[in-house]
Amino acid sequence: MFSRREFLQWAAVTTAATGYMGSLTRVAAQQRLTQDDLLKFDSKGSITLLHFTDVHAQLKPVYFRPPSENYGVGAFEGIPPHLVGEEFLSHFGIKRGSPLAYAHTMVDYVDMARTYGRLGGLDRTATLVKAIRAERGDNNVLFLDGGDTWQGSYTSLKTNGQDMVDCMKLLKPDAMVGHWEFTFGEDRVKEIVDDLGYPFLASNVFDTEWDEPVFEHTAFYEAGGHKVAVIGQAMPYTPIANPRWMIPNWSFGIRPEVIQANVDAAREAGAAVVVLLSHNGFDVDQKLATVVNGIDVILTGHTHDAVPEAIKIGNTLLLSSGSHGKYLGRVDLEVKDGRVTDYHSALIPVFSDVIDPDPEMAAKIDEVRAPYEAECNRVIGKTSGLLYRRGNFNGTWDDLICQGIMEERDAELAFSPGFRWGTTLLPGDDITIDDLYNQTSMNYPSVYRLEFTGTQIKEILEDVCDNLFNKDPFFQQGGDMVRVGGMAYSCAPKESIGNRISNMTMIKTGEPIEADRSYVVAGWASVNEGVEGPAVYDLMENYITRHKVIDIPRNDTVKVIGMN
């Protein structure tokens, strides 16, 4: 791949030569993008780390609109990854209308998507990984999977994650970590790990009875003539963000003292390079880099952030490689006298229209999808507008889900969880079963119907908001704000818990939500055991099929206060 400077020069040239990108055809764009261009890279040293994270079971190329809001608070306000749109482009020196602008921002998104097409696809990722291994030498490259790999699609739900496991084996990762993997339950996770063929690392997962590690915490490799230690870190708040009853015998947490002990042990064992393969989230790992000594590289995941190159915090490099297979992260390291002396990094956008699919992986994808292909491609409706999920407060997919569950469950209000996974549909696209399950595929899908008082509703919103906007990232759990249907409110992210949510009103009447009044609320993905109600994907199939054409209006029901 290009060096960052070369890539930006190339992007500027392509834009200057063609003008406004909305006027380009995809064929013209493809003529300017080639697989060889994407693989050009300013190589350093003898060690290459490849990072792939948060694919959420997307085997095929996807559209995925980057967020329109990504607010940071405290020390993390206004810095990566909390930059979007024009601010992101300005900070990283990326020209509007360029390929990188499309890969990283929502600016001119629909026109850019129609110009450059989908990104990702495990067969395209396989092509890049194999090419880099061939260039650098197999023994010099470590390919590391940051987790959230097995969950997020129709076929992953129907196969209990086996489709992803089988395909990933062909990529031959050197190690992986997890988060949504744990929602398959303890028994299924252990069954897969026993047959995985490479380490499933988790330094922070302990048995609740014996307080002993459940999984390996560190794996050692010889790469580029040096000893490399990879320490794994699972999502620390898994039993809070997801159902504890699925993993009742395991405890999690950030456990920085455990990480420090494992780093020290790795150094004592002769490791010249220490890598933390993490599913903590970007801000958690920004702080972790300041409190744990001796980590050379943190490859982070969970929050789906994508930055064009690694940032440096003290002596630690931090790279986040996006989500849904859109990118392949690369970090080259030069090591002398037992320490890292130089590096180069980049995030390779996986433009699926210009990368040759790897035949072996393409055949495997066809094989694992074959029993389900007809159902996956079954059309249930059409969208007149852009359907996307990402953004701190709302996305049109969740607006649609809120509308559907209010109507189908006869509720006054609706809650939809602020998941960051879920692909995008362009205006005029058909909605298929595959598309619906990309938003809803999970093992606790029941749509509940309960009564909450106005006070309880505020408490729920305040609690989720604190998980997102706590100034101490060690108290953040990732995800975006719970989406709401049927109500409007104001949010002040910089305030303290209990003081962020105000002006809650019913959209239909404009009347304030009363503290003591009970409201019928429908929602899904409750972490409680034994929740009763239809599965969200069945409910939404009924709703979309009945309405046929989906038209989601602009949502201005959340007013954000005190943020630039």
Quickly tell me which residue has 């026993």 as its tokens: 194
| Phi, psi dihedrals of residue 491, rounded to the nearest 5° | -135, 130
2 — pLDDT class (breaks 50, 70, 90): very low
Helices 162-171 and 122-136: angle between axes, nearest 10 degrees: 20
Q: Residue 22 pLDDT more than 50?
A: no
Question: Which is more confidently placed, 29 or 321?
Answer: 321
> pLDDT averaged over the chain?
93
Q: Within its chain, how far is the Cα of 508 from the centroid?
A: 34
Of residues 31 and 186, more confidently modeled = 186
pLDDT of residue 27: 52
The predicted structure's pLDDT at residue 225: 95
pLDDT confidence band for 489 (50 / 70 / 90): very high
Give the pLDDT confidence score for residue 162 in this predicted structure: 98
pLDDT 10s digits, 83-102:
999 999 999 999 999 999 99
- pLDDT exceeds 60 at position 143: yes
Q: What is the mean pLDDT of residues 79-83?
A: 95
Rounded to an integer, the average pLDDT of 182-192 is 98
Alpha carbon distance 512, 29 (integer Å): 51
Q: Output the pLDDT for position 29.
A: 55
The pLDDT of 218-244, averaged and rounded, is 97
CB neighbourhood size of 532 (10 A): 8
Query: What local confidence, expressed as pLDDT, does residue 554 receive?
Result: 87
DSSP string, 198-239: S-BB-TT-EETTT--BSSB-EEEEEETTEEEEEEEE--TTHH
pLDDT at 26: 52
Q: Minimum mean pLDDT among 21-30, 106-115, 463-472, 492-501: which range?
A: 21-30
Three-class DSSP category at 345: strand
- 228-232: average pLDDT: 98
pLDDT band at 564 (very low <50, low <70, confident <90, very high): confident
pLDDT by residue (tens digit) across 313-365?
999 999 999 999 999 999 999 999 999 999 999 999 999 999 999 999 999 99
Q: Is a pLDDT exceeding 70 seen at residue 3?
A: no
- What is the structure's pLDDT at 5? 42
Q: Which pLDDT does position 391 carry in this prediction?
A: 86
**Mean pLDDT for the stretch of residues 166-185:** 98
Nearest to 276 by CA among 296, 261, 306, 252: 296
Which token pair is 235? 């999502």
Does 38 or 141 have the greater pLDDT score? Answer: 141
Largest CA distance in the chain: 70
Residues 362-388 have pLDDT tens digits of 999 999 999 999 999 999 999 999 999
Tokens of 302: 């969970």
